[in-house]
């Protein structure tokens, strides 16, 4: 019998996607189905809005506090959105959970994903896409809460991000939610089976003896055939 000991460390999973691709819904389904997967909560300097929940939606801190955290190298990555508010992924929180064997999902954009991939090459990068840009347009219109200028800006961002998908490990088209979730689950299972996650392989003595016996017998048979 062979015993394979794999690394206890959790997997760091980045899920990005174009606007209205449904990446948030895919992530929520994964969290509901798998208790060993958690979503990293980012820090932000933006004000709390109606519907936000402290330490669940974001960790809300002041701009000064955020900049102090930058100075102390507290983020895996951070950025300023629209030249106004800071958003960042906490380094200590993520590292602690990974050490404890918890899989962590980061829902961040392409730029942040590339920053973290450089720091942590073992990070799994998954890009969620809508079936077509026409469907994206329909979903944005269905919201009915954005101006034509905002819609154009979203499309520009989406096209720019699509051109970066070759930097990701996997792409999942979300044309059916349940199927998209299954595909992401399959990716995570396959990643757990990677050879580089193996720490130790132990073969019991009995198997080693049998293996040596078979090799010896095969060698003797070859010798007899030559006589």
Within this chain, do residues 126 and 199 fall inside the same structural domain, yes or no?
A: yes
pLDDT at 16: 95
- Residue 62, domain extent: 40-100
Within this chain, do residues 139 and 84 fall inside the same structural domain, yes or no?
A: no
Within this chain, do residues 94 and 122 fall inside the same structural domain, yes or no?
A: no
Residue 185: closest CA among 36, 84, 45, 85: 36
Q: pLDDT for 47-83, tens place per residue? A: 999 999 999 999 999 999 999 999 999 999 999 987 8
Within this chain, do residues 10 and 116 fall inside the same structural domain, yes or no?
A: yes
- The residues with which 79 forms a beta bridge, in sequence order, are 87
How big is the CA angle at 27 (ends 25 and 32), to the nearest 5 degrees?
95
Structure token digits, residue 16: 């990005």
Within this chain, do residues 121 and 138 fall inside the same structural domain, yes or no?
A: yes
Residue 153 to residue 148: CA distance in whole angstroms: 9
Within this chain, do residues 72 and 93 fall inside the same structural domain, yes or no?
A: yes
How many domains would you assign to the chain? Answer: 2
Assessment of whether the complete model's pTM goes beyond 0.85: no
Within this chain, do residues 189 and 157 fall inside the same structural domain, yes or no?
A: yes
Q: pLDDT for 177-206, tens place per residue? A: 999 999 999 999 999 988 887 766 655 666
Within this chain, do residues 155 and 213 fall inside the same structural domain, yes or no?
A: yes
* DSSP tag of 54: B
């Amino acid at each position: 019998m062979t015993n394979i000991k794999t690394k206890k460390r959790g997997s760091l999973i980045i899920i990005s996607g174009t606007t209205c691709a449904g990446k948030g819904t895919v992530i929520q389904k994964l969290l509901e189905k798998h208790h060993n997967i958690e979503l990293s909560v980012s820090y932000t300097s933006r004000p709390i809005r109606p519907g936000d929940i402290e330490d669940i939606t974001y960790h809300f801190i002041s701009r000064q506090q955020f900049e102090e955290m930058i100075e102390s190298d507290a983020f895996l990555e951070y950025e300023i959105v629209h030249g106004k508010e800071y958003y960042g992924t906490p380094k200590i929180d993520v590292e602690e959970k990974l050490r404890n064997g918890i899989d962590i999902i980061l829902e961040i954009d392409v730029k942040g994903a590339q920053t973290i991939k450089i720091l942590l090459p073992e990070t799994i990068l998954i890009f969620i896409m809508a079936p077509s840009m026409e469907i994206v347009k329909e979903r944005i219109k269905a919201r009915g809460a954005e101006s034509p200028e905002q819609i154009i800006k979203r499309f520009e961002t989406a096209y720019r991000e699509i051109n970066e998908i070759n930097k990701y490990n996997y792409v999942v088209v979300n044309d059916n939610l349940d199927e998209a979730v299954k595909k992401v689950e399959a990716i995570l299972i396959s990643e757990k089976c990677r050879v580089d996650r193996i720490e130790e392989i132990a073969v019991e003595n009995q198997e080693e003896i049998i293996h040596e016996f078979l090799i010896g017998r095969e060698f003797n048979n070859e010798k007899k055939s030559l006589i």
